[in-house]
Amino acid sequence: MSKRRRWTWYLLGTILLAGVLTGWLWGRQVRLGAEKRHKFGATYMTMNNPFYEIIDDEIRNELEARGDILITRDPALDVEKQIQQVQAMIAQKVDGIFINPVDWKQIGPALEEAHAAGIPIIVVDSDVFESQLVSCTIVSDNWQAGAQCARHLLESREGGDILLLTHSAAKSGLDRIQGFKETMEGQAGFTILAEADCLGQLELAMPATEQLLERYPKADVIMCLNDLAAMGAMAALKDAGLEGQIAVYGVDGSPDGKAMIEAGFMAATAAQFPRRIGREAAAAAYRILEGEEIEREIRIPTELIVKEDLERYGIDGWQ
């Protein structure tokens, strides 16, 4: 074999070896990168509420910016389904679980399983009964939200016959209505006539309001646990020809709620800050994984929005 041919084969062999080594190193780097990626799970009581979509988007943005993964599930207000979703996340060995409970008490068994597996749980928007099983709870000050609506009512009217739309399985709903009730307690001229559970859903709030109005036609105030329920109440009022004649209160600060305030059909909404809740939740998850001590409970103040505040908050988006 000539010297030139040997040199050619030597060069080809070197190039081939370099290619093999490069491919091996690249594959190893990909495998190591995949091993370092964290995987999280999230389950919210229902994705039928845009509020939870905003929270989920904020968490996802924070996680994916770090190259991590978020698996989101929707139990559609079914606590047994939510328990199964948490169990599936445990089986997948996720690094953390974000949960907004369908039922603040019945979710307990799922929390126990995740806790036993050493998986941190970050609760968002609504407390759980067995709070000792979770690493962090990040919610709005829901009692304050109800109290803010009550104080506005007291400042704007001398009396009123009040109906309540509630959600008894959600601690957030319970706290909002409790804040409203306690602030109204003993106030002369104001009477709470009745309440109905609507799960915070528009399609349930509408018939619930219709039934309440049939029983209490003199009602002139409706306090709703969230803006979706308020939308249902206002739909019922529109059908009854009472749109704008009954003061409706909500909680969320949703774009729809603010639009109804601008139109004069809704008195006020106590605004939550879902974007902040999502960012706080993601930050808490990483601090937990890094072994830091964090606050067990983060409560974010709400702010009442009335017509005069709309220019400051804007109508189209969430806070």
- Show pLDDT as tens, one digit a residue, over the chain (319 residues): 555 555 554 555 555 544 544 554 444 444 434 457 999 999 999 999 999 999 999 999 999 999 999 999 999 999 999 999 999 999 999 999 999 999 999 999 999 999 999 999 999 999 999 999 999 999 999 999 999 999 999 999 999 999 999 999 999 999 999 999 999 999 999 999 999 999 999 999 999 999 999 999 999 999 999 999 999 999 999 999 999 999 999 999 999 999 999 999 999 999 999 999 999 999 999 999 999 999 999 999 999 999 999 999 999 999 8
DSSP-derived letter for residue 102 is: S
* pTM across the whole model: 0.88
* Angle between helices 202-215 and 227-239 in degrees, nearest 10: 50
Residue 242 CA to residue 230 CA, distance in Å, equals 14
The structure tokens 């308020």 sit at 230
β-strand partners of 190: 160
Of 121, 101, 273, 57, whose CA–CA distance to 200 is shortest?
101
Residue 179 CA to residue 299 CA, distance in Å, equals 15
Cβ-contact 219, 163 below 8 angstroms: yes
